[in-house]
Structure 1
Amino acid sequence: MMDFLTDYAGLLAALAVAGLFAGLAAGLFGIGGGVVIVPTLFFLLSTMGYEETAMHVAVATSLATIILTSIRSVMAHHKRGAVDWDIIRGWSPWIVLGAILGMLAAGYFSKQVMLAIFGSILLLFAAQFYFGRPGWTLASEMPKGPVRAGIGTFNGALSAIMGIGGGTLGVTLMTLCGVVMHRAVATAAGWGVAIGLPGAIAAIIVGWGREGLPPFSAGFVNLPAFALISVFTVLMAPVGAALAHKLNADRLRRLFGILLAVVSARMLLQAAGL
């Protein structure tokens, strides 16, 4: 383990910075941090020579880190009375189902397919962050019945394939269904556990014994990256949650949207082999 720490000191430092930013983003925007962690891990692991498994490891490790981040973030929001536990209870079973199905499928996708999916959806997120308005609504309440089952399963599957918490899709869904922004951010943070835990377990199972994995990996989950990023995301998530209740985040959302667009473009170029 000491050799790993010595040889990859730069990698570990980069993971620490990514963890700080991911935790801050998780609490501030309710996005789970995966949109920061996955690209960071992918590019770092690719430069270290693990190109073929880098995207799968990045996604799976991100899912594992989201578990602790989401717990910490939702607890911080709960203290402010902002979490709608009825939404979490009603949607979680379908999100769990989707997360398991999504990660089992992702385990057999090629690197190019994973990059194309992540880059394309990330571009949509970038547009939402930059152009979206909290006041936009399509319905007066959250869907129920078969519609909830379908949307919840799709949310869980897509989130697991991308290695992101439910907040990235959940905040958009909730605000479009009339949930106020602060409550949507707080509640969506709770969806991360429903995605991260079953998704990470499925990633360990489907990735077990694969060739070309980085050192100290359990299936597709890289344990040193998981441990280091988790520490810093857990520390920063409450800070982001506190800022979410104090700041007008419109300018920050637009800047973050620009960053996501740049990252998306680079990943799409990688998927195209350019």
Structure 2
Amino acid sequence: MQKSQGYRKKNQEADKVYREICWQDLATRDDLIQAVATAMHPFLMILLGLAAGAGAGLLAGLIGIGGGIVVVPVVYYGLISSGLTADQSAHMAVATSLAAIMPAAIMSSLAHWRAGNTDLAFFREWGPGIAGGVVIAQLMAPHLRGSVLTGLFALFCLSVSVRFAVPDRFKPLCREPPDGRLCHLAGVGIGLVSGFAGVGGGILTNIVMSLCGMPMHKSIGRAAAAGVVVSLPAVIVAVILGPIGGRASSISWTIWMCIAPAQGAAAWGGAQLAQRATSNQLSRIFAGALAITGLVMLRSSFGS
């Protein structure tokens, strides 16, 4: 009886020692996994940035949109994972997205200009209004919550996507895009939305041009040009005012260097694909991009 109790006690002690060893091994494995994840984080962010840049650039060249709907979420969650607050990450994601649009917009605009789908008259007529709207939005963004504007823009994208999904069933609202004061007012509206949300310059320009009877290929060319007008003043304002007062809406140049080269290279390829596609094909691709943009931004507006 005493031997049996002795064996039982030894077995219990052995089990206790075994469990302690297992827990130590488990803790060691957890520490190792955490260390590997921490070490791999920069490399994963680089790969994610390259992929996001390539996808955004393809959209920029193919349908003229800046690709912010792809870039902003990637930058936002990347900054969150690096330890920044949600508010800081949101402002920096928008500013970085607007800066990353520049190389893609330039490459896409050059390709569409060579194909005859955009011209310098667009910059002269629409450029001042768009640039002014972007500057106003960049100055106001740190002091305002853009959830209402984002939600309205999302609903607008969703409703207009139906029109582009079935282009043959709808007629243009007018024969040509607005000019004069209406042109400048429309440009300011495009710039405001772009500056607040980090997306929308190419989308809104394409919508306005298409609804006013401009062929889809030319609408895309002008939308690509709008990306240049949107990104340049946004970068200047972010660089000049970013560091003042600890403002968070400055550009993350580290992430920009991952995204921008891939975005610029892919934009040229996207523009070449656009030349081979028919107007209806481009219209339906644009409708899909509008619907996705609307859904993502609607979710974002409810979450902010």
TM-score (norm 2): 0.77
In the alignment, is the contact (CA less than 8 A) between 2:79 and 2:89 conserved in 1?
yes
Q: Which residue of 2 aligns with 1:177?
A: 212
Matching residue of 1:15: 49
Sequence identity (%)? 31
Match of 2:35 in 1: none
Is it true that 1:221 corresponds to 2:251 in the alignment? yes
Compute the displacement of 1:185 (Å).
0.3
- Distance (Å, rounded) in 1 between the aligned partners of 2:204 and 2:234: 16
Q: Which moved more, 1:32-41 or 1:12-21?
A: 32-41
CA distance in 2, matches of 1:212, 1:89: 32
User: Could you report, residue by residue, the CA deviation over 1:53-83 in whole angstroms, capped at 9, with x for unpaired residues?
Assistant: 1111111111111111111001011121111
Structure 2 portions without partners, runs of 5+: 1-37
The answer (yes or no) to whether the contact 1:123–1:260 under 8 Å persists in 2 is no
| Alpha-carbon distance in structure 2 between the residues aligned to 1:168 and 1:123 | 13
Structure 1 residues 255 and 205: CA distance shift in structure 2, 3 A: same
Q: Shift in Å at residue 123 of structure 1?
A: 4.2
Structure of greater Rg:
2
The offset of 1:117, in angstroms, is 3.2
Q: Offset of 1:105 from its aligned partner?
A: 0.9
Q: How has the CA–CA distance of structure 1 residues 256 and 95 changed in structure 2, closer, same or farther, with 3 Å as cutoff?
A: closer
Cα distance in 1 for partners of 2:293, 2:124 equals: 30
1:39 and 2:73 are equivalent in the alignment: yes
Q: Does the CA-based 8 Å contact 1:66-1:165 persist in structure 2?
A: no
1:150 is the counterpart of 2:182: no
Give the Å deviation of 1:261.
Answer: 4.1
CA RMSD of aligned residues (A): 2.4
Aligned residue for 2:146, secondary structure, equals helix
2:292 pairs with 1:259:
yes
- Counterpart of 1:216? none
User: Shift of the alpha carbon at 1:86?
Assistant: 1.7
**Separation (CA, whole Å) in 2 of partners of 1:23 and 1:5:** 29
Which residue, 114, 128, 152 being the options, matches 1:79? 114
Separation of aligned partners in 2, 1:67 and 1:182: 21
What secondary structure sits across from 2:172 in the alignment? coil
Structure 1 stretch displaced more, 20-29 or 126-135? 126-135
Asked whether the equivalents of residues 158 and 295 of structure 2 are also in contact (C-alpha less than 8 Å), the reply is no
* Helix, strand or coil at the partner of 2:271: helix
Pair 1:136–1:196, CA change in 2 (3 A): farther
| Number of aligned residues | 260
In 2, distance between residues paired with 1:189 and 1:250?
15
Counterpart amino acid of 1:228? C
Among 261, 273, 295, the residue aligned to 1:243 = 273
Structure 1 CA distance for aligned equivalents of residues 238 and 227 of structure 2: 16
Structure 1 residue 254: Cα displacement: 4.4
